[in-house]
Each structure stands twice: as C-alpha cells, then as structure tokens.
Structure 1
Amino acid sequence: MKIKTKFFGEIEVGEEKIINFPSGIIGFEDLKRFVLIDHPGSDVIKWLQSVDDPVISLPVADPTAFYSDYVPQISKDDLETIKVKNIEDAVVLCVITVPADIQKATINLKAPVILNPTRRLADQMIAENPEYRVKHPLPLAQKQEGRCAGC
C-alpha cells in the first residue's frame, strides 16, 4: 500500500509492516496504524509514521543506544495488552524531542513505546522506574555539520 508522509513523500509499505496501536499513542489516541521508517544515514534513529495522517511522524530510538542500562519496569498487565509476557520479548523505543538547539534534545524514558514484533502490536506504556523522566537529556556524542552524530 502507498502512504503519504510529510518528510519522506509517498512511500510503498507492505501490509505486514503496519504496527497496530489499539490505544493510539499519547496525544494521538485516534491514530492506530503506524510504520517504522529508517532515518537516512542513521542506524539509531527511526520515524514512527502514522499510516492515516501524513503529518504525524515521531522520531524514536532504541534507548539503550544512549543509556545502555535502560530497563523499563512495565506491569505484566500492560504487557499483556500487546500479548507480550516479558519486556525481553518486546522491542522498546522511546520518542525523541529535538528543539531548535539540538544540544537540548530529550528522550522520553518514562513512556516508552513497547512493540510486539511478532504480532505487530504496540502501545506507549508508563515505566514504573522513578528515575526515568519524560524529558531525559539526550546525550549527544558530538555535533557534526549542524546535525547530531547518529541522527
């Protein structure tokens, strides 16, 4: 199927690549279908693109690329909503916020996106870890040509 995107134009996406969010994403509860798009030139950054609204595309990343000890504590009841028994069986992504000053970029460690890769089900869940914040500083190794290294 073809989907329109704000940043990548019209792209072809196989039905098997669609990730269903039965509850939507915080702030976008009406949007239920997304796909992951690789950020050009980065192995870390991806875009969570709405299938139904071309304007909605959120930068996400595997948080362990920045915080190697990141292990969100998610309740078993929450995990069950996407048919996952253990967090180790899921793909964990966190939404990145990039303001005009890239050195002030943050990553949302408090509300990770938890994805069941087998069933293509996902939800944004709240980590019970008290040390994780919604706007956790994103450690940028260095700034290269006005872009973050790895972005």
Structure 2
Amino acid sequence: MEQTAAAPASLNGAADSSEITVHFAGGLVGCADWEHFDVVTDAELAPLYLINCQDDPSIGFIGADPTVFKPDFCLQLSPEDEEQLDYPEFGDLLVLAIITPASSLGSASEPTTSATINLLGPLVINLRRGIGRQVIQSEYTAHHSVGG
C-alpha cells in the first residue's frame, strides 16, 4: 500500500480534543518494552499530537502528520505491515512522525539550530483497532528539518 500520509482532524470524531490508547505489539524500534501509548490531540495543539507511554510514564513524544513538514511524504506499507495493522482502510490510518525539539539536539561542539522530524520511522496507527506499528521508510531521514 502506498499512500500520501494524512492525519484526521480528531482521533474519535470530537471536534476539540480527543485521545486514543494504542498498542504497538513488540514496542517501538529499539524500545521493545514500550508497547502501550495514549495519543492525544487538542485544537490548541494542532497540528501536534502528544504521545505518552503507559509502560513508562517518564516517556513521551511530540508527533505530527509528516506531510505538514514534508508535503510529498509518501507512506509505503509492506504486506507484513498491513497484516500487523489488521489490513486497514487508508481512512482508518493516522500517521505520525516524532519531532525532536531543537533544545534536545546537538552537542556543545556541534549545536543544532532547528527541530527535526523523524520521517524514517513514522508511527502508523489503525484508529479503528487501536493498534499501531513503527514502519521504517528507508528513503527518508530520521532528522528532517521542520524548517524545510
């Protein structure tokens, strides 16, 4: 399945704020123990989403529809990805890429001046089933500048 990513305005049909609990079987890449997340959106946060780990409450991410920062982003799902996501219809998918704020990047010797978004490993969520999968997109980078 090849589709241009698109995030719905809300997670559950609510206009202002919504939340969904998502299970990522096997966790995220490099973090197998992090399987259960709450994904929260709010009109005041748009276009951002809060992604909070239930398994380790000290872990949380900021996510966004990747097309906000890379309009030509195109999600590729393998047959295995589709199976793990329970063969979703495209309209049932929420695609989020994790944002790394500028203050979290770089080092004293190599400071970074802009935030980045991870297009290499977006989170793909089947909203109907409450299941998700981190899907590697090898044609993209993990450090795409949110400034362009």
TM-score with structure 2 length normalisation? 0.73
**Aligned pairs, number:** 124
Q: Secondary structure at the match of 2:76?
A: coil
The equivalent of 1:60 in structure 2 is 63
Closer/same/farther in 2, CA of residues 134 and 88 from structure 1, 3 Å limit: farther
Closer/same/farther in 2, CA of residues 118 and 40 from structure 1, 3 Å limit: closer
Q: Does residue 135 of structure 2 align to residue 133 of structure 1?
A: no
Q: Is the 8 A contact 2:92 2:128 kept in 1?
A: no
Percent identity of the aligned residues? 30
Q: Does residue 111 of structure 2 align to residue 114 of structure 1?
A: no
**Runs of 5+ in structure 2 lacking a partner?**
1-18, 106-111
Alpha-carbon distance, 1:119 to partner: 0.2
Amino acid at match of 2:68: A
Closer/same/farther in 2, CA of residues 92 and 116 from structure 1, 3 Å limit: same
**Equivalent residues in 2 for 1:13-92, closer than 5 Å:** 17-38=20-41, 41-85=44-88, 87=90, 89-92=92-95
The equivalent of 2:97 in structure 1 is 94
Amino acid at match of 2:93: A
Query: 1 or 2 for the larger relative contact order (CA 8 Å, sep ≥6)?
Result: 2
CA offsets, 1:81-126, max 9 Å, x none?
1113565541110011113278421111111100000000001011
Amino acid at match of 2:146: L
TM-score with structure 1 length normalisation? 0.71
Closer/same/farther in 2, CA of residues 41 and 88 from structure 1, 3 Å limit: closer
Q: Is the 8 A contact 1:58 1:96 kept in 2?
A: yes
Q: Is the 8 A contact 2:114 2:147 kept in 1?
A: no
